[in-house]
Structure formats: C-alpha cells, structure tokens
C-alpha cells in the first residue's frame, strides 16, 4: 500500500529544494540587470508556495519508505524538478510555450543537452546559467542530493538511492547511504572547481567557465554559444574539456577510492575502466586516420577533433568542436555506435554503459560454447567474480526495454512526419542522454523544429534513459499498483 501523504510531503521538500536553487540564477539576473529576473522570481515564488503547501498540509504517519514508494517517488521527484525547472523558461518570452520549456528543462536535468533554441546567445545570461545549473544538479542526481540532506528518509533512503543512481547496489562507499551521497557530491564539486580553474587559465571568461564546467562534469552539453566549443577556437580549451569529460565518464566510486583511500592502481584494476579507455582510444585513432585520409587537416588537428568528438559522444556529453556530419560515413558510423556504448557504470554519463556491453559479449560467447559443449557449465565473470544469473537476466531485460522504447518512440516520431534518419538519431540521442545526433538534429542543428508530440515523446525518452528504463517504466505495469 502506497502512503500518498508521505509521497506528497517528500515532493514538497523536493519542490522547495529545487526552488531554492533558483536563487543563484536570480542573483545573476539582479547583478547583471538582465530580463531573466522576473521569470526567475515568479518561478521561485510559485515553487516555494507549492512546496510549502505540500509540507504543511500533509501530515503522514512516520514509517519506513518501501521500495515501491521509493521508485514512485524517484519518478515523481524528477518530474517535479523538471516542471519547476521549466517555469523560468515558460515565463520567458524566449520560449514559445510549455512544450518547449518542459523539453529544455528535461534535457537539462537528464543531462541530455538537446535544445530547442536557435539563438542561444540571445537568451539572458541568468537563464543560460540556470540551464547549466540544471545539468549540474541532474548529473549526480537530485535524489542523491535529497538523501544527503533529508535525514527523515531513514533507512528507506537506500531504496531511493538504488532506484536513481546507477551502480549503487554494488558500490556503497560508506555504511550510511547519506554519507555515500555526500562523499560523491564532494568529489563531483571538487572536479567542477578544478575544471573552472583550468578553463579560466586557458582564457575562457568566468561566466562561460562556470557554465561549461557544470555541463562537462554532468556530461550534459549545454553551451553558452550556439557553435558550442568550436566558438572559442582554442585547442587548449578543447583538451581541458576532453580531460574532464573522460573523468566524468568514469565510475565515481573509483575516484573516491583513488582520492580518499589512496588506492593508486584502482583504475588499472577495474576491467570496465580499462575497457572504457581502450574503446575511446581505439575509436579516436580510427577517426583520426579517417580524417587524415578524407580532410585537408594536419595530424595534430585531426587527432584533436577526433578525440574531442569521440569522448564527447562516448561520455554522452554532446559538446561539439566541429560539424561531424561533414565527416566521412565511417567516422559518423563510429560515433553512432558510441552513442549506444556510453560511459562507465556509476558515472554521470548515459548510454548502455561499458560494463553492460562487456557482460553482453560474455553472455553471447557463453551461449556459443553451450551449443558446442552441451554438458559444460559456464559462468560469466567480471573482475574475478562470477556474475549471478539474476544480474544477467536483469541485463537482458534492460536491453529488451531499451529496444521497446526505441522502437515505440521511432514509430511516434515518424507518424508526426519526421524523416527516418532524424527520427532514429533523435530517439537514440534522447534515450542515451547525448543531445546532438544526425540529420536535422545534428551538431549545428536543434530540436525546435520538431512537432509538439515528438518533443513530448523525446522528453519521455530522456527520463526513461536517465532512470535506466526500469524505474521509469515499472510504474506503468499492473503489478506495481497491486497491494
């Protein structure tokens, strides 16, 4: 039995928390005197009143949050955060209506980086800052932050943490879940600060450095420039962002063990981390060779462009340093494949995750062996441990759900008149939280021209991908609502 008073009260706290975050862009608006002040102020007022009402009007009986309630709260909390985040856009004349505002907010919180804007530089600086901040909040997960600051969740916080944060089931760092969340946030904030300092050293302005640091560590991709990172024309800036995109795509528990526990060899001991770096390196070399053979570029330029786009797509950040749709089909196909791979489990990156790709390869290899050695007993291994059959079953179910969501969303988009290449690219880029795709949603394009139904469908794809499909889809099952 779901305790709705408890859910509503917790959503009230979520609403208050997100609304309080609006103070930061409001401060930017007041300092710069831009037109974002009124939309941000009214959004802050509306969110605070709504959250306060939910807190004071509902008086639930104290109890532990069940796993079912945790899953439901995660989905509703994300939707609440996205709606509150959409209010400043909705109240702004730069957005045409709720559909575009909701799409932009969903893209921000899920760290997708897809935008409906054509004139990004024309957006007030305060709203540009809010776009970047939604990336940063969604990157590590607003639910993880909520668990760290809401002790009233008690032991039930484990259900929320596992429902939202990929890899948490096997990678608890500390005995208490709130301490785990706080440890991850400290590392996350530390890397963000380090990137800001590096970008300032490379010549980027303070405002742009803050926004791009937020977007990079969240593997989001919102830029303050329509031309993204290409607008700066600085190889040093590109290499700095490459480095921090790579860091953001690695399991944050490995960062914790390296920085706090001083386990120097932790990155080399982790099979997923090794595979992640090797895939990135191999694809960078392949794309570099392709660019050398097909474009009039030097080796240094070809390597830099290849490394930036490979890392950007693989980590699902979505920044661009060039129009990769002008590249040879082979290079574009590699980038398309990297959209499905993604980063490491427990990182801010999207995609299927490298560890799952590795497990799928072993599962297929095991089935081949079973066909030839029918009496053999074979296990799937990861880092010297046998993987449980329940984990393999969950993995296969996840792949099935991803295919169902992909196919269903493609049907809807093609029904609205979107061409096939754009449909497949937009759905894939949204599901795996990448942002730019191919066709009419390429590196130099946006999603503003798509029909309203297509934007709502892609918004659902972003949320489903961010919550790793299970959490977002289970609430539609009949069994979930049974007592």
Q: Tokens standing for 363? A: 């599962």
DSSP H/E element including 381: strand 381-382
- At residue 352, the pLDDT reads 85
CB of 122 closer than 8 Å to CB of 474: no
3-state secondary structure of 385: strand
Half-sphere exposure of 113 (CA within 13 A, CB side): 39
Structural contact between residues 26 and 40, judged by C-beta atoms closer than 8 angstroms: yes
Length of the chain: 483
**Extents of the domains making up the chain:** 4-235
CB atoms within 10 A of CB 119: 8
Side-chain-facing half-sphere of 298: CA atoms under 13 Å? 3
Q: Average pLDDT in the 345-363 region?
A: 86
Residue 148 has pLDDT above 80, yes or no: no
- Measured in whole angstroms, how far is the alpha carbon of residue 446 from the centre of its chain? 18
pLDDT at residue 142, rounded to an integer: 56
341 pLDDT more than 80: yes
Q: Give the span between the Cα atoms of 312 and 434, in whole angstroms.
A: 9
For the segment 109-133, the average pLDDT, to the nearest whole number, is: 93
Residue 162 pLDDT greater than 60, yes or no: no
Q: Is 90 exceeded by the pLDDT of residue 350?
A: no
Are the beta carbons of 325 and 438 closer than 8 angstroms? yes
The answer to whether the beta carbons of residues 348 and 248 sit under 8 Å apart is yes
Q: Token digits for 62?
A: 């104290």
The token duo for 117 is 């804007």
* Average pLDDT of the chain, as a whole number: 86
Instruction: Find the distance separating the first CA and the last CA of the chain, reported in whole Å.
Output: 5
pLDDT confidence bin for 170, thresholds 50/70/90: very low
- Convert the pLDDT of each residue in 216-273 to its tens digit: 999 998 999 999 999 999 999 999 999 999 999 998 888 888 887 788 888 888 888 8
Distance of alpha carbon 283 from the chain centroid: 22
In 3D, which of 291, 282, 341 has the Cα closest to residue 314?
341
d(CA 318, CA 225): 13
Q: What is the mean pLDDT of residues 106-122?
A: 92
pLDDT at 284: 96
Instruction: Render 126-183 in DSSP notation, one character per residue.
Output: HHHHHHHHHHHHHHH-HHHHHHHH-GGGGGGHHHHHHHHSTTTTT---SSSHHHHHHH
150 confidence band (pLDDT: 50, 70, 90): very low
Six-digit token string for 343: 């980063």
Structure-token pair, residue 139: 């990157």
Q: What angle do CA 71, 313, 117 make, to 5 degrees?
A: 80
**If 0-12 CB within 10 Å is exposed, 13-18 middle and 19+ buried, where does residue 409 land?**
buried
Q: How far is CA 290 from the centre of its chain?
A: 29
Place of tokens 């860091």: 247
Which of 461, 427, 452 minimizes the C-alpha distance to 441? 427
Q: If residue 386 lies in a helix (H) or strand (E), which one and from where to where?
A: strand 385-386
Place of tokens 């099979």: 271
Residue 164 in this model has a pLDDT that exceeds 80: no
Residue 167 has a pLDDT of 43
pLDDT on residue 79: 93
> Higher model confidence: residue 105 or residue 63?
105
Q: Which helix (H) or strand (E) holds 382?
A: strand 381-382
Report the alpha-carbon angle 242-245-251, nearest 5.
140
- Secondary structure letter of residue 64 according to DSSP: P
Q: What is the mean pLDDT of residues 151-159?
A: 45
Higher pLDDT, 1 or 121: 121
The residues near 282 (Cβ < 8 Å, ≥ 6 apart) are: none
Are the CB atoms for 237 and 199 separated by under 8 Å?
Answer: yes
42-53 pLDDT, tens digit per residue, is 999 999 999 999
Using CA atoms, how far residue 224 sits from 41, 131, 154, 260, in Å, is 22, 9, 40, 34
Q: How confident is the model at residue 376 (pLDDT cuts 50, 70, 90)?
A: confident
- Say which range, 274-288, 385-399, 437-451, 461-475, has the weakest mean pLDDT: 385-399
In Å, what is the CA distance from 257 to each residue of 173, 185, 193, 346? 9, 14, 20, 13
CB-count burial class (<10 Å; 0-12, 13-18, 19+) for 426: buried
Q: Give 266 or 207, the one with higher predicted confidence.
A: 207
- Torsion over CA: 465, 466, 467, 472 (sign): negative
Q: Residue 345: which pLDDT band, with cuts at 50, 70 and 90?
A: confident
Assess contact for 78 and 144: CB atoms under 8 A: no
Residues 406 and 431: beta-carbon distance below 8 Å: yes
Q: Which residue has the tokens 């596992």?
A: 162
Nearest Cα to 464, choosing from 454, 455, 474?
A: 474
- Cα–Cα separations (whole angstroms), residue 23 to 29, 41, 120, 144, 164: 10, 8, 22, 21, 26
* CA pair distance 301, 288, nearest whole angstrom: 9
């Amino acid at each position: 039995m779901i305790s709705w008073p408890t859910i509503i009260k917790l959503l009230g706290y979520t609403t208050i928390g997100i609304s309080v975050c609006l103070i930061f862009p409001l401060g930017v608006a007041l300092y710069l005197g831009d037109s974002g002040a009124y939309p941000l102020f009214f959004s802050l007022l509306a969110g605070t009143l709504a959250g306060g009402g939910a807190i004071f009007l509902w008086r639930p009986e104290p109890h532990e949050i069940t796993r079912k309630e945790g899953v439901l709260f995660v989905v509703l909390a994300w939707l609440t955060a996205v709606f509150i985040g959409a209010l400043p856009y909705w109240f702004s004349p730069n957005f045409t209506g709720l559909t575009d505002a909701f799409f932009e907010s969903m893209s921000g919180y899920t760290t997708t980086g897809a935008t409906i804007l054509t004139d990004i530089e024309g957006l007030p600086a305060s709203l540009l800052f809010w776009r970047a901040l939604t990336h940063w909040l969604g990157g590590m997960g607003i639910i993880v932050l909520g668990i760290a600051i809401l002790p009233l969740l008690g032991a039930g916080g484990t259900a929320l943490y596992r429902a939202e944060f990929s890899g948490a089931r096997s990678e608890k760092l500390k005995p208490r879940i709130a301490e785990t969340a706080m440890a991850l946030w400290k590392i996350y904030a530390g890397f963000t600060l380090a990137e800001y300092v590096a970008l300032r050293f490379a010549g980027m302005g303070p405002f742009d450095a803050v926004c791009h640091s937020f977007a990079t560590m969240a593997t989001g991709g919102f830029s303050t420039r329509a031309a993204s990172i290409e607008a700066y024309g600085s190889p040093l800036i590109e290499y700095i962002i490459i480095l921090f995109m790579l860091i953001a795509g690695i399991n944050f528990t490995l960062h914790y063990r390296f920085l706090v526990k001083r386990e120097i060899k932790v990155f080399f001991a982790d099979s997923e981390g090794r595979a992640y770096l090797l895939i990135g390196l191999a694809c960078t070399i392949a794309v570099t060779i392709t660019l050398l053979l097909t474009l009039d570029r030097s080796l240094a330029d070809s390597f830099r462009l290849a490394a930036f786009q490979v890392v950007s797509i693989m980590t699902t950040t979505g920044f661009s340093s060039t129009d990769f749709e002008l590249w040879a089909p082979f290079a574009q196909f590699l980038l398309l494949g990297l959209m499905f791979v993604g980063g490491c489990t427990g990182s801010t990156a999207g995609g299927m995750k490298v560890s799952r790709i590795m497990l799928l390869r072993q599962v297929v290899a095991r089935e081949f062996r079973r066909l030839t050695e029918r009496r053999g007993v074979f296990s799937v291994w990861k880092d010297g441990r046998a993987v449980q059959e329940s984990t393999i079953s969950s993995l296969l179910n996840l792949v099935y759900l991803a295919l169902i969501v992909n196919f269903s969303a493609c049907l809807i988009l093609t029904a609205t008149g979107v061409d096939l290449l754009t449909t497949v690219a937009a759905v894939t880029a949204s599901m795996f939280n990448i942002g730019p795709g191919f066709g009419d949603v390429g590196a130099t394009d946006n999603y503003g021209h798509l029909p309203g139904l297509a934007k709502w469908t892609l918004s659902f794809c972003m949320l489903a991908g961010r919550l790793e499909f299970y959490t977002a889809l289970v609430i539609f099952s009949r069994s979930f609502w049974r007592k």
